[in-house]
Amino acid sequence: MITSTLEAEPLITLVGPPNSGKTTLFNYLSGKNYKTVNYPGATVEYSISKLQKKYNFEASILDSPGIISLIPNSPDEELSIDSLYSHPRFGIPDLIVVTIDASQLSRHLLLAKQLIDAKFNVVLVLTMTDILNRKGFDISLPDLTNELNCNVVKVDGRTGKGIDELIKVIEKNILNGRLKPRQNPIRQNGNIHFDKLIGYYKEIENIEDKVIFKSNKDANPSDLETANKKLNILNNPQARNNIGIDQTTLKVDKILLHKAWGLVLFFFIMSITFTSIFWLAQPLMELVDSAFGYLAYEATVLLGNNWFGNFIANGVISGTGAVLVFVPQIIILFLILGLLEDTGYLARGAMLIDRPLSKIGLNGRSFVPMLSGFACAIPAIMATRTIPNKRERLLTIFIIPLLSCSARLPVYALFLAFLFPMSKAWIAGLVLAGIYIFSTISATLIASLVNKFNNKIIKEVDNSSFILELPSYRIPKLKVVATNTYHSSMAYVKRAGSVILLLSIVIWFLTYFPDYNPQVNSSSMSQEQAEQLIGSERLSHSFAADLGKFIQPVMSPLGLDWRVGVSLIPTFAAREVFVSSLALIFKVTGDKSTLQTSIIREMRQATIAGTGKKLFTTATIIGLIIYFIFSLQCISTLAISRKETGSWRIPLIQLFVFTAAGYILSFVAVNGLRLIGIN
């Protein structure tokens, strides 16, 4: 075990309940220069950084997952709590900085009291005092310091006021030496001391009575006048109850949490969110698209129309660009979700869908992992560790791959651009929202079916309750949201980028060799026509064509041919590769037009060999969309599902059931649409 010492470098661990301002404080102390890693042997993440150099004090800062008590309610919380006593990499922290929402003092003090009684070296940071001040109250720092016997500092998360004072207190506490933590004060030998827990609540109530006073501009906690005001508050139960209540929040919640209108507004907000992804990203997508189209064209001109020039232009540049063009949509998705979370609305979303989820064997705790599934199934499945109930956790893991992740977004965007011209982009946006809603409804219906037969699939029977603390509404901190959006988007690019580039190269090789220089009679053709004929001959005799002979019988019932089948194969490593695969399979050359435009042009001209029928039609495109909604085409998702469920049983069921459902429903959709004349 590595123990943090002053001779090495002191370790400061940030701890606090969710929505207490902990991450905002971490960003101020680290200067947003941090990395996120997993606890050894676990999928639980924490962020680590160095204290900013401007503070002239060397220390490491660790931002741990949010907890509300030293009594864990989930595997994630248990690991976070255990790491306080002995972090698997850093040992015992030299100092624990606990963030407390001043407007939720009675609830958030529980964790601080437990850490102090466990003999940790603790500094308390009061956040969101502006919310408490708007209610007409304030907290006496001297009184709270005396009651808790630890330093207390106020920090304004919007302006950073109080950070310099906090640094002084941190330095002083670390130099004074580290206390040796003892056993958990309310959980010993696996048993919870409920009498001790009840005692904490009574003690916290007494502390709150002593430290909260009615504020005004000239108030001073030491004044007799202020003391009298404080006494009046304590003798007025109604006023005391109003301390923790934000009246504005209550008024807004009457609308947003209404049992009928609340759900209508929720689905409206979600629809606006996904429609905005299509609208707002379009100018940036066109810019990125044009840039990669120009690069591919210039590479062909510079390197010549030989195997190396073709490799750089169509294998590397076009293959990568066909996916990176959709990064603006992914950024906007993370940005909007971040804004909704920072305002406090996502917690309301969990409350709103708790009742519908309860009908299918889940509760509101599944909301955040399910919502994360719209970004990526991998962190979404990791997030299920916060669900203490094992049956609900496994059921949530089971349906998460059905939610349309951001890796599907490039595919949907291409298909919708094929179906709808730019003049009707608003229709494409609404259809995109409909796809996400449809995937969510499908996931809930399947969860309902699985719940009825849980002894066959999930094999866990137990019940749980759902209790959630709703934060007050607040103005989002744009710097924090932007930083989180940047890191989430970069994580997506880094995760997908290397896989996409490798698979693009493999597919280029399969479509270019072995007959890379076929002999054709091009005497009466223009150079462009000759190049197209050579490309067609090369493709028809390529390794990809040989592979397609085995795939064709599977694709024919869907109205497709082997070329689409070959493009689908690498999607099991990364769905996004489908777009670049199409670009390579259909020999989209690097010209001055945009890559997406070139792909769509080739799709419109493509015909099925021997029949002359159009390959891509309204029916086949809708069939492909349905296939992508249901099928599980992500090896990484299978791997993380195996790790979180503890066996290959559920991942293999997901793979075969979802992929088979995607194929069958696609077959029904294509042939059903053809039957009614839509082709």
Closest CA to 14 of 118, 94, 104: 94
To which residue do tokens 């001073």 refer?
220
Between 412 and 579, whose confidence is greater? 412
Q: Helices in 453-477 by DSSP H: which ranges?
A: none
The per-residue pLDDT for range 167-196, each reduced to its tens digit, is 999 988 887 765 666 666 666 666 666 667
SS3 string, 437-458, reads: HHHHHHHHHHHHHHHHCCCCCC
- Listed by start position, the domains of the chain span 11-242
pLDDT band at 229 (very low <50, low <70, confident <90, very high): very low
Contact between 432 and 277 under an 8 Å Cβ cutoff? The reply is: yes
Contacts of 406 (CB under 8 A, 6+ apart): 329, 330, 333, 374, 375, 376, 492
pLDDT of residue 619: 93
Dist. CA 472–CA 128, nearest whole Å: 10
To which residue do tokens 């470098």 refer?
9
* Residue 543, H or E segment: helix 543-555
53-56 CB contacts, 8 Å cutoff, 24+ apart: 55/29, 55/167
The per-residue pLDDT for range 92-121, each reduced to its tens digit, is 888 999 999 888 888 888 888 889 888 888
The per-residue pLDDT for range 532-571, each reduced to its tens digit, is 666 667 766 778 777 777 888 888 899 998 888 878 877 7
Dist. CA 603–CA 178, nearest whole Å: 67
What are the C-alpha distances in Å from 666 to residues 9, 449, 562, 597, 630? 59, 21, 16, 26, 9
Question: Measured at the alpha carbon of residue 317, what is the angle toward residues 598 and 513, in degrees to the nearest 5?
Answer: 85
The per-residue pLDDT for range 438-447, each reduced to its tens digit, is 888 888 888 8
Mean pLDDT, all residues of the chain: 77
The per-residue pLDDT for range 593-622, each reduced to its tens digit, is 566 777 888 888 888 877 778 889 999 999
Closest CA to 90 of 43, 44, 39: 39
pLDDT of residue 390: 75
Strand 60-63 and strand 45-50: the pairing is antiparallel
Highest mean pLDDT, choosing among 136-150, 206-220, 232-246: 136-150
pLDDT above 90 coverage of the chain, percent:
9
Task: Tally the C-alpha atoms within 13 A of residue 496's C-alpha that lie toward its C-beta.
Answer: 33
Closest CA to 48 of 58, 35, 66, 38: 35
Is the per-residue pLDDT at 497 higher than 80?
no
Among 193-207, 465-479, 628-642, where is mean pLDDT lowest? Answer: 465-479
242 secondary structure, DSSP code: G
Contact between 644 and 381 under an 8 Å Cβ cutoff? The reply is: yes
Between 108 and 581, whose confidence is greater? 108
Strand 187-188 and strand 191-192: the pairing is antiparallel
The per-residue pLDDT for range 441-492, each reduced to its tens digit, is 888 888 888 877 655 566 555 555 555 566 677 778 787 788 778 877 776 6
CA 96 to chain CA centroid, nearest Å: 27
Dist. CA 402–CA 381, nearest whole Å: 12
The per-residue pLDDT for range 258-293, each reduced to its tens digit, is 877 888 888 787 777 766 766 777 788 778 878 887
pLDDT of residue 37: 59
Is the per-residue pLDDT at 241 higher than 60?
no
pLDDT of residue 542: 76
- Is it true that the peptide bond before 185 is cis, omega within 30 degrees of 0? no
Contact between 593 and 293 under an 8 Å Cβ cutoff? The reply is: yes
CATH code: domain 11-242 is 3.40.50.300
